[in-house]
Every structure is written in C-alpha cells, then in structure tokens.
C-alpha cells in the first residue's frame, strides 16, 4: 500500500483565480500586520532573553515560510508569548547555541508529526492541560515583566518564587517614571480596544508612549525612562545563515526541550488555524501546517532566530484587515524585512516599560482565568490535571508540566473507560426483549444447566482485563460451557487478547468449553492473526447469542449422552 504524505500548501489553491482586488486586500492587511508585528517581535525577543533583532528575524524568516508552505490561508507565524518561558529556560541552561539546536530538532519533529498525519491527534490533547500550561505561562510572563514594569534595577533569579521574593524586598526602589510609562501603555491598550478592532492598541501605545518618552528625554532631560537603545544595539541587517554543530550528545541533551517546543508549537499553531477557520469559514490542512511549522523552525535558528508558531493575535489582525490568502502573510514578512533594514534605528527609542506593559496585557489575555475558574468547578479529576499542569509550569518548567499532565490525563481517561466497561453474568435466562440484536427467535433465551454467559460491554483492554478475571473468580462454580458475549466490545488490545487466551487454556484444563458470541470484524481479525481463533475453534465463534445458545444446547446434549 502506497503511503501518501498529506502536504498541499494553501497558496497553491489560493492563487487560482487570484485577482487584483484580492492582491490589494492582502497588500493592505500585510502592511498593517507587519507594522503590528514589529513591537511584538521585539518584546518577545527581549523577554525570551535574546536581542530585539532576533525576534524580528524570527518573524521575517518563519513568518515567510509559514505563509508560503502552510495549510491555512490566513495564518501569520512568528515568535509568540507562549515560547518566552521555554526559550528563556533553555538559554539559561544551554546557551544561545543550545536554543538554536533545540529549535532545529523541534523543526524536524514537527515535520515528522505532519508526515505521520498527527495533525488531528494533537487536537485531542485534553483541554485542562492546554489551559493549565497556558495560564502557567501567562503568570510567568507577568512575573518576568515586573522588573521593567516598575523600573527596578536589581538582578532577579530565574525561578518564579525567587523573583517575587526579590520584588517584594525592593519595592521601595520603584522608578516612578517607568511605572507611569507602563501604566499609561496598559491604559491605552485597554481603552483603544473599545475604539477599533482593526488596529491593535499595542501599536497605538508604542507610537504614543515612545513619542512622549522621546520628547521628555530630549527636551526636559528625563533620563529615568530606560529605552531599548539603552540596553541593546539593534543590527539593521539580515544575517547570513550559519550551520550548527550537532552530535548525538547534544541531541540527547536537548531532545526533551525540543519535544516541548514541538508540542507547544503544534498546539498553538493548530489552535490559531482553527480559530481562523471559524472566522473565514474555511478549513485548514493540519498536517500541511505542521510540516510548514517544522520547516520554519529549521530555518529560523540558522539565521539566529528563535522558535516560531502561528500567532492568534496577528492572524486575527490579518483577517480583520481583509487578508484572505497566504500572500498577506508573505507581504507581512517583507514589510518587517524593510523595517529591519531601513528604519529599525527608530525602535531604540521604545521604552522598556512600554514593552513590559504590552506583555502584561498579553499575559492577562493568555491567562484564560475565567475558563480556569470554570474548570475548577468541573469534575475533580479534570481540576486535578489543570492544577497539576499549572503548578508544575509555574514552579518547575513546561517540559515537566506537559509530561506529567499528559500522563495524568491518560491514566484518568483509562480509569473512566474501565469504569464504563461492564461485565455481567447470566446463568439461567437471557432477556432479549430490550435488545436489538437479530435474528431473534424468542423474547427470552433459556440457558441449559451448567452453561454461563459472560457479557462484556465496552473495550476489552488492559484496564479491564483484570476486572474480567475477578468476575470469573467471584462466580466460584465451574460450568461445562462458558459463552463470552462480545457484541458491545468495539476493540480488544493485546492484554485483553492475552487474558482471553489464558482463560481459554485454563478452562480447557478444567474441562470447560469456551464459546464466543457477537464478535465484530475488528476483534475477529485480531483473534485470527494471533491464532487464538483456531485454538478455540471457528465453529465455537458465533455471530449472535441465538445461534450460540442453540449450538451450546446441542453440545450439552452430546456431553450428557442424550
């Protein structure tokens, strides 16, 4: 059987019947999104622990590739707030080169996910896990911005609790100019949201606050407002790609953080594409999107960039301003490139407190506190997963949070499935009056003496196999024939198969015959491939309970000699 990779970039279909009107709509959207993306790229870059231009370079390289190769018509790619915590942690532990290698590995993982068609599976990650680590990231982003928000000139440790200890012990050292700058930025962003949905308040805040800060510094001599230029030197150039030195030792060391980058990138990009689908009434190709995200994350670190994914805020800005094809995303990347090359020098005047204010608003929007609160009121198991993921994200790191959260979710899911699977025993009569199984001969089936029917209702997998064994032991007495009724068993795994095999062989030793009833095609195929169907005897595997009881009744007469 030929395996076909699910890769068809949206731009191929978008260019069919592409008109001048569509181009001008994409052009305007691309220009606006490019301008909007500039301060966000700078803010995410600085917050992640790299220089401002690395954030811009990521938005240019990754944004271009995601639009060119992606499976969504309107997705805008680039650095996002969700990666701040991961990137900062990797740089602290492995340095800039370690981050580049981890991002590169994550790119290959994303491509592999797309090739294996895991795009739809990613969507099944439990919602409490997504909310838990998203809210955790939001809280960490907020905590990292307090220093610039209040203008504190004190070194802060990397851990969450350590940061807040330092903040509380240095509250008397607040720079009130910086605090006022960040407060004004937040007020503008919030207030502007009621004025216009097309132009984000963050862009308005940056322009207004930067202009005001420049006038205060230049004409009134206010030096207390720290700007990007006071801390960084933005290089107005697109660097040449450089090869990374990778060996098995670095791959082993960085595989875990790379996997975290890949999973988070996949979740966020597909979530963004899904939200966009609902707005423009289209359907994205999730596997193509994963492959595009992978290529983008391979290319980005080669140019000195950081991890990238689909950005919901910029994608919605694109849609709200008329962008409907990937051309808008490509134009956005070109606009950013032109800004970097020719006017990036102006970015040095942006106050750090203004960027902190923008990131605080982003953190608030990411927090999903209303959803968080509603999930806490839901089932205790889901609340436990939510709180565990949230707590581990904040106190430890996202890698551990995702691993433990997924493990808890899987265990709870298996527990629920095992609880819904029922095992019942019939010894004398089977009531068929409420059943839809056909053909029916009687409303009630009378079972011969020394015949028992065990019915399994639900998946027969490792979580239920022991439960089935326990039911057998509780009965105690030994019949001559056991019918295992499996009409409601949708699938059976190897552990269930193993338990059924042990039951058959132990029953055979005790002189008890095993018959199966109502086995579906999927389970039958497993029985036949394992050889158990031949061991039991295909004449003892029946299509429904009527035939099974009829055969067993005749067999009991043979055994009794009548």
244 and 106 in one domain?
Answer: yes
Residue 93 included in any domain: yes
How do residues 136-177 score in pLDDT, each as one tens digit? 888 998 999 999 999 998 888 878 888 999 999 998 999 999
Residue 397 included in any domain: no
Beta bridge partners of 516: 484, 541
211 and 79 in one domain?
Answer: yes
The encoded tokens of residue 257 equal 């953080």
**Domain, as residue range, for 92:** 17-368
429 and 336 in one domain?
Answer: no
63 and 205 in one domain?
Answer: yes
How far is 128 from 75, CA to CA, in rounded Å? Answer: 25
How do residues 326-343 score in pLDDT, each as one tens digit? 999 999 999 999 999 998
Give the three-class secondary structure for 382. helix
Instruction: Decide if pLDDT at 472 tops 80.
Output: no
Residue 12 included in any domain: no
Residue 549: in which H helix or E strand, if any?
helix 545-560
Query: How does DSSP assign 137-175, residue by residue?
Result: HHHHHHHHHHHHHHT--S---SSHHHHHHHHHHTGGG--
How far is 174 from 276, CA to CA, in rounded Å? Answer: 41
Query: Per residue in 189-219, is it b (16+ CB within 10 Å) or e — as a string?
Result: beebeeeeeebbbbbbbbeebbeebbebbee
How far is 328 from 75, CA to CA, in rounded Å? Answer: 9
Task: Say how many C-beta atoms besides its own lie within 10 A of residue 455's C-beta.
Answer: 20
438 and 349 in one domain?
Answer: no
Residue 381 included in any domain: no
Q: Are strands 481-488 and 451-457 parallel, antiparallel or unpaired?
A: parallel
- What CATH code is carried by the domain that includes residue 493? 3.30.750.24
- Max Cα separation, the chain? 114
How do residues 209-240 score in pLDDT, each as one tens digit? 999 999 998 888 888 899 999 998 888 888 99
How far is 434 from 330, CA to CA, in rounded Å? Answer: 61
How far is 84 from 448, CA to CA, in rounded Å? Answer: 70
Counted domains in the chain: 2
| Strand extents, DSSP E, 19-76 | none
User: How high does pLDDT run on average in the chain?
Assistant: 88
Residue 417 included in any domain: no
How do residues 86-139 score in pLDDT, each as one tens digit? 899 899 889 999 999 999 999 999 999 999 998 887 767 788 888 888 898 889
Place of tokens 């790299």: 50
């Amino acid at each position: 059987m030929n395996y076909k990779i699910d890769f068809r970039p949206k731009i191929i279909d978008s260019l069919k019947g592409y008109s001048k009107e569509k181009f001008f709509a994409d052009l305007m959207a691309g220009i606006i999104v490019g301008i909007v993306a500039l301060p966000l790229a700078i803010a995410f870059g600085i917050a992640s622990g790299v220089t401002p231009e690395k954030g811009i370079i990521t938005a240019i390289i990754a944004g271009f590739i995601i639009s060119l190769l992606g499976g969504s018509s309107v997705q805008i790619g680039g650095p996002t707030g969700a990666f701040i915590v991961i990137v900062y942690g990797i740089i602290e532990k492995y340095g800039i080169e370690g981050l580049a290698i981890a991002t590169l590995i994550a790119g290959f993982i994303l491509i592999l996910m797309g090739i294996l068609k895991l795009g739809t599976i990613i969507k099944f990650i439990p919602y409490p896990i997504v909310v838990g680590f998203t809210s955790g990231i939001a809280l960490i982003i907020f905590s990292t911005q307090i220093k610039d928000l209040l203008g504190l000139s004190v070194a802060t440790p990397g851990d969450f609790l350590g940061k807040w200890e330092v903040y509380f012990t240095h509250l008397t050292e607040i720079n009130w100019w910086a605090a006022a700058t960040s407060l004004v930025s937040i007020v503008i962003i919030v207030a502007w949201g009621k004025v216009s949905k097309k132009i984000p308040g963050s862009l308005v805040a940056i322009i207004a606050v930067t202009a005001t800060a420049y006038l205060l510094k230049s004409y009134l001599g206010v030096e207390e407002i720290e700007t990007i230029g006071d801390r960084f030197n933005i290089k107005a150039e697109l660097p040449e790609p450089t090869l990374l030195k990778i060996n098995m030792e670095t791959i082993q060391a960085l595989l875990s953080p790379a996997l975290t980058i890949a999973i988070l990138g996949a979740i966020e990009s597909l979530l963004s594409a899904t939200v966009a689908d609902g707005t423009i009434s289209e359907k994205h190709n999730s596997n193509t999107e994963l492959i595009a995200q992978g290529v983008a994350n391979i290319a980005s670190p080669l140019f000195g960039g950081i991890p990238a994914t689909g950005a919901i805020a910029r994608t919605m800005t694109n849609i709200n301003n008329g962008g409907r094809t990937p051309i808008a995303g490509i134009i956005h990347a070109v606009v950013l490139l032109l800004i970097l090359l020719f006017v990036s020098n102006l970015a040095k005047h942006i106050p750090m407190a203004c960027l902190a204010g923008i990131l605080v608003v982003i953190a608030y929007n990411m927090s999903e506190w209303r959803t968080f609160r509603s999930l806490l009121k839901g089932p205790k198991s889901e609340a436990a997963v939510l709180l565990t993921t949230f707590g581990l994200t904040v106190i430890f790191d996202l890698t551990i949070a995702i691993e433990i959260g997924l493990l808890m979710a899987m265990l709870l899911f298996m527990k629920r499935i095992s609880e819904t699977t029922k095992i019942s025993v019939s010894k004398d009569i089977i009531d068929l009056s409420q059943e839809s199984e056909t053909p029916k001969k009687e409303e009630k089936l009378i079972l011969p003496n020394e015949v028992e029917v065990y019915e399994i209702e639900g998946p027969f997998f490792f979580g239920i196999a022991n439960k089935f064994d326990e039911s057998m032991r509780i009965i105690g007495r030994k019949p001559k024939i056991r019918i295992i009724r499996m009409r409601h068993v949708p699938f059976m795994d190897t552990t269930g198969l193993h338990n059924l095999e042990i039951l058959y062989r132990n029953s055979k030793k005790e002189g008890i015959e095993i018959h199966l009833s109502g086995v579906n095609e999927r389970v039958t195929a497993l029985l036949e491939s394992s050889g158990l169907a031949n061991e039991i005897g295909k004449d003892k595997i029946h299509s429904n309970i009527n035939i099974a009881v009829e055969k067993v009744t005749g067999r009991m007469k043979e055994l009794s000699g009548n």
